[in-house]
Amino acid sequence: MKERNKHGWLPLSKINARTVIPFSGIPEDPGRHCPMHTALSLARNISGVSTLVVGSAECGYYSRYVMTDQSGRNGELHYVYELDAGEVVFGCRKGLLEALKEMDREGAEIIMLILTCVPALIGEDMEAVIKELEGKITAKLFFVDGAHFKYNGYYPGFLDTYSGLGLLYKKTVPKEEESNNSERNVNLLGALLGKEGVALKNCLQEAGCNLTEVNLKTIVKASEQICKGTLNVLLDANQSLLSEKLNKPEIISCKSFGAEAIRADYQNLFKQLDIENAGQEFFHSSFLLLKEKEKQAKETLKGISFIMTSQELLALPVAAYLSALGMEPKLLSVENLYERDIPWKEDILKHGYDPYLVTITENNNIGHWAVDYNLLSIGHCLHIPEERLLPNPTVQRIFSLTGYERSIALLDRLLEMAKDMEEVPVQLQMQSEQQAAEKPENVQLKGGNSHGSI
């Protein structure tokens, strides 16, 4: 088995759920975003959720690169509680309680507390603060642990925001208001997009199912309907912890890519909802089309290597799918390997592949390493020719589709890229780039604001 390479990367076989995924290299300024950043970027689009960032003056300053206004479109409040020198030593509990009471008086309905590094280091207890205010204020509270030193990157900001909302809903919606299992109330955690998504939505509605589409616009105002749901269909991997906290039967369709796996998901869905022959002709024709694409892919893509630098929560399922078609994953961008990812890990290793898992903090190391291989890149990568790249926006559009249609779109693009595979152009491109960089007219001063927001 492979060991660490010169960059310190570890292969998949050496990583378990407790292993810290190595960085791709020394981060460039400003480095990787922290969970505070992504929690705020998500919350600013959720109607009805106010935020309070708790931390140092620096965290308060950088939070304004994401949450630029103190007031949201629908009256939400987006404030910062900056610790003074005394609070850094002795804690900020007293002042924080007063700040939350003030936000309650100003009309905040739901307040998301975002804990950052300094209060996390001194052991500030957000759960105790929330418990102390129960029954004393009208606003509902939950918190997200956004301390960057605890995580490799920013994805916990997304996951924990949805998780906190799920816990909040379970706590505030009375148990007797939840539906019994005889009702067909379906939570669609994410969006049903594309022709297949529309077809699935129509067939569920025609069968008499009550659909609640859980997205940023509906997640607060539809909280009661969400808790009354009898089945969660997970379409957006970011909402996985929301689904988990709701504690309902679940179908995880966002991680199925193979034709047989997708068909099994549909059969499971229709069985649980007691629906017979729902859209059978449409879905069967899509199944047959994907099977044909997979047959073609096994012939054309076999032996071609690839890396994946985008869509981290889907990196392992995608790699397992493409491994089964004969492609070889060389490197996958992953922040954490969770227990629920272990089946994908085992599937990849079963096919004889052992890709590196890295958290991408900079792209140069990956770009220079990649030129030694004749590979495709799913996501951006320096020094890989454009014709071998599946750009991040394209990846996002493909992965926003549903079921068979998503996998067909992915294979279509990979098959198209494989037509132009050659042995030499990557090395030649790097040499031309290096030569160009040596010319004085190409030397540029680095400047401008490097701390952009999502």
Report the pLDDT value the prediction gives residue 381, as an integer from 0 to 100: 87
Report the pLDDT value the prediction gives residue 30, as an integer from 0 to 100: 59
Which one-letter DSSP state was computed for residue 214?
Answer: E
Report the pLDDT value the prediction gives residue 451, as an integer from 0 to 100: 29
Task: Name, in order, each residue with C-beta under 8 angstroms of 404's C-beta and a sequence gap of 6 or more.
Answer: 196, 259, 262, 283, 286, 287, 289, 290
Amino acid at 360: I
- Other CB atoms within 10 A of residue 176 CB: 5
What is d(CA 187, CA 198) in angstroms, rounded to the nearest whole number? 15
3-state SS class at 150: helix
What is d(CA 326, CA 323) in angstroms, rounded to the nearest whole number? 5
What is d(CA 75, CA 372) in angstroms, rounded to the nearest whole number? 54
Report the pLDDT value the prediction gives residue 433, as an integer from 0 to 100: 46
The series of mean pLDDT values per 10 residues for the chain, 454 residues long, is: 80 90 77 83 89 90 87 88 88 92 93 92 90 92 87 82 87 62 84 92 90 88 88 93 90 95 93 77 89 96 94 93 96 91 95 94 86 88 87 94 96 91 49 44 31 29
Ordered alpha helix ranges (H), 301-442: 315-324, 342-350, 364-370, 392-399, 403-418, 425-438
* Model confidence, pTM: 0.85
Contact present, 400 and 193 (Cβ < 8 Å): yes
What is d(CA 136, CA 115) in angstroms, rounded to the nearest whole number? 22
172: alpha, beta or left, given left = phi > 0 and alpha = psi -120 to 50?
alpha
Q: What angle do CA 150, 156, 159 make, to 5 degrees?
A: 150
173: alpha, beta or left, given left = phi > 0 and alpha = psi -120 to 50?
beta
Place of tokens 């049903």: 192
Contact present, 63 and 91 (Cβ < 8 Å): no
3-state SS class at 252: strand
Report the pLDDT value the prediction gives residue 440, as an integer from 0 to 100: 37
Burial of 178 (0-12, 13-18, 19+ CB in 10 A): middle
Q: Report residue 23 as tokens.
A: 């960085």
| CA-based nearest residue to 246, from 204, 185, 201, 193 | 185
What is d(CA 146, CA 74) in angstroms, rounded to the nearest whole number? 25
Please say whether the dihedral angle defined by the alpha carbons of residues 231, 237, 238 and 240, taken in this order, is positive or negative: positive
What is d(CA 105, CA 254) in angstroms, rounded to the nearest whole number? 41
| CA-based nearest residue to 254, from 237, 267, 242 | 237
State the greatest distance between any 2 C-alpha atoms of the chain, in Å, as a whole number.
73
Task: Name, in order, each residue with C-beta under 8 angstroms of 419's C-beta and a sequence gap of 6 or more.
Answer: none
Q: Report residue 391 as tokens.
A: 């750009």
Which one-letter DSSP state was computed for residue 229?
Answer: -
What is d(CA 243, CA 251) in angstroms, rounded to the nearest whole number? 10
Report the pLDDT value the prediction gives residue 279, as an integer from 0 to 100: 59
Which one-letter DSSP state was computed for residue 239?
Answer: G
Contact present, 250 and 232 (Cβ < 8 Å): yes
Report the pLDDT value the prediction gives residue 24, as an integer from 0 to 100: 87
